[in-house]
Amino acid sequence: MPANTLRKSGRFRSPKHDGPVHLTPRNLNELRRILRPESSTPLPVRPQGAGTSSTDCNTTAAGSILHMTGLDRVLRVDAEQLTVTVEAGIRLETLVETLAEDGLELYGGYELQGRTVGGAIAAPCFGPSIGKVGSFFSSHVVAMKIITADGRQMTLDRTQKNLLAAFRLSYGLLGVIYEATLRVRPMRTFTASHRRVSVQKFASIVDTLAASEVGFKFYLMPYRDRVYLDLRRYDTQAGNAYKTPWRLKDWGESTVMPHVFRSLNRIVPINSVRYRLIDSISEATQGLVNSRLVHTGSNVASPSRRGARGPRTHYSSWCFPAANFSMVAIAYKEFCESVLQQSGYRCDLPAAGYRLNHDPSAPLSPSFDETMIVLTTASTQLSGWDDFVIDLADFAEKWGGTPLISQSRALRAENVIQAYTRRLDFFRQMRRRLDPDNRLLNPFLAQFAQ
């Protein structure tokens, strides 16, 4: 059982003095002081952004948690070079709003706007992006400033291509990112259309969708045999994208549904009745709010604030080769049904998925070799969840799933090593060079990164 599970179980409470120290630097000098070898900072030091990862990659049971949210300024918007430079603790929502004031936007649409730029660079951050642009937020970083494990300052730009690549999706193992420059572009609007299909029908079209330029997100409801598709295409002419319908959609998905489901889980004891209600509410949200209200959008109007302020949702994400996903989708439905039959557990929220374009911009990119589909299973029900994610990890491994170090619950170290192969060897060598004393390494990451 991971230390995190013990800490959060409520049954096993660590005495106060055993926990990690929490440090929130407010400027570069404070950050450097914390990381200087001669400082008395308890080790290991784990950088943390918004803390939305679902594994122990952003935490530590002992040592120090370095909260980067104190470094949250926009430093420069360069409308001519089309770049923005920010401190790494800034939340995506603040960055997106700031860019919009200059008619600019990020490349790609990213949900969960409460996460930080540092977390979105150091861990996979993806969304329903249109076209064949880099899949990850980190693909669009063109320069970074780092404090290394021994307190040195380091600046990386496009001329140090390999080093810059290594720091993308580096999980805070090579150093702490305190500043980043990202490519941006003039704001564009898109049209969003919606379709409701069976899992079988979805399986027959997912290949075509994955190969196309259409931005897509899907919601898979295994117990209703339904998939709701959100398909996005750029408008040929600039238009208006109203925020209100997207805010309503977000409110329905990230606040109302989890709150209502959590209450239903408490007050409706008969499983069959409760789940019928839950699925009907999910379908109504998809059908009424999403399909009827939301027709045009932009990367400014559409992102969800989920995870930043809503109630706690448990989730686990796995990536599958797009070429196999037609089979995986059907197998996933059967897997969910069989777990429900055997253990009585099921997730109350729909699973969601996106395409991850083929993206070799970082050694630890999960879509380094080919286009993938990422499937996120989510639930508000904690009781039974820990066993469910172990079964889900077995299912994913059986179907050639690639784990996300920050998001795949119950991943096995052997599976990480197998999935990332020689690219992980390269990353480990780099890590040993930059952090020979393992000052940034926690036991969870040591399983495969040492």
Q: How many helices (H) and strands (E) does the chain have?
A: 14, 17
List binders of ligand FAD among 344-383 (CB under 6 A).
376
Tell me, letter by letter, the H, E, C secondary structure of 60-105.
CCCCEEEEHHHCCCEEEEECCCCEEEEECCCEHHHHHHHHHHCCEE
Asked if 414 and 379 touch (Cβ cutoff 8 Å), the reply is no
What does the block give as tokens for 51?
Answer: 């803390």
Asked if 304 and 217 touch (Cβ cutoff 8 Å), the reply is no
Binding ligand FAD (rule: CB under 6 A), the pick from 34, 45, 53, 427 is: 53
Number of residues that bind ligand FAD (CB under 6 A): 36
Binding ligand FAD (rule: CB under 6 A), the pick from 35, 41, 52, 222 is: 52
Q: How far is CA 209 from the centre of its chain?
A: 21
CA 189 to each of CA 128, 236, 239, 246, 297: distance values in angstroms, whole numbers, following the listed order: 14, 9, 6, 13, 6
When the beta carbons of 143 and 327 are compared against ligand FAD, the nearer one is 143
Q: Looking at this protein, which amino acid is placed at residue 282?
A: S
From the CB of 142, what's the least distance to ligand FAD, in Å? 17
Binding ligand FAD (rule: CB under 6 A), the pick from 20, 25, 44, 49 is: 49
Across 262-371, where does the E strand assignment appear? 296-298, 314-321, 351-356
Residue 406 binds ligand FAD (CB under 6 A): yes
Site string for ligand FAD, 289-308 (x = CB under 6 A): -----------------xx-
Q: Which residue is nearest to ligand FAD (CB)?
A: 119
From the CB of 110, what's the least distance to ligand FAD, in Å? 7
- 426 vs 429: CA distance, rounded Å: 5
From the CB of 160, what's the least distance to ligand FAD, in Å? 17
Site string for ligand FAD, 173-192 (x = CB under 6 A): ---xx---------------
- 173 vs 149: CA distance, rounded Å: 8
Residue 389 binds ligand FAD (CB under 6 A): no
Residue 435 binds ligand FAD (CB under 6 A): no
Asked if 294 and 192 touch (Cβ cutoff 8 Å), the reply is yes
From the CB of 127, what's the least distance to ligand FAD, in Å? 6
List binders of ligand FAD among 97-126 (CB under 6 A).
111-112, 115-116, 118-120, 122-126
When the beta carbons of 60 and 238 are compared against ligand FAD, the nearer one is 60
Binding ligand FAD (rule: CB under 6 A), the pick from 60, 90, 113, 171 is: 171
Question: CA 91, 95, 100: angle at the middle one, nearest 5?
Answer: 150
From the CB of 129, what's the least distance to ligand FAD, in Å? 11
Question: Residue 155 phi/psi, 5° resolution?
Answer: -120, 130
Residue 257 binds ligand FAD (CB under 6 A): no
- 19 vs 6: CA distance, rounded Å: 12
Q: Footprint of ligand FAD on this chain (CB under 6 A)?
A: 46-53, 57-58, 68, 88, 111-112, 115-116, 118-120, 122-127, 171-172, 176-177, 306-307, 313, 315, 376, 406-407
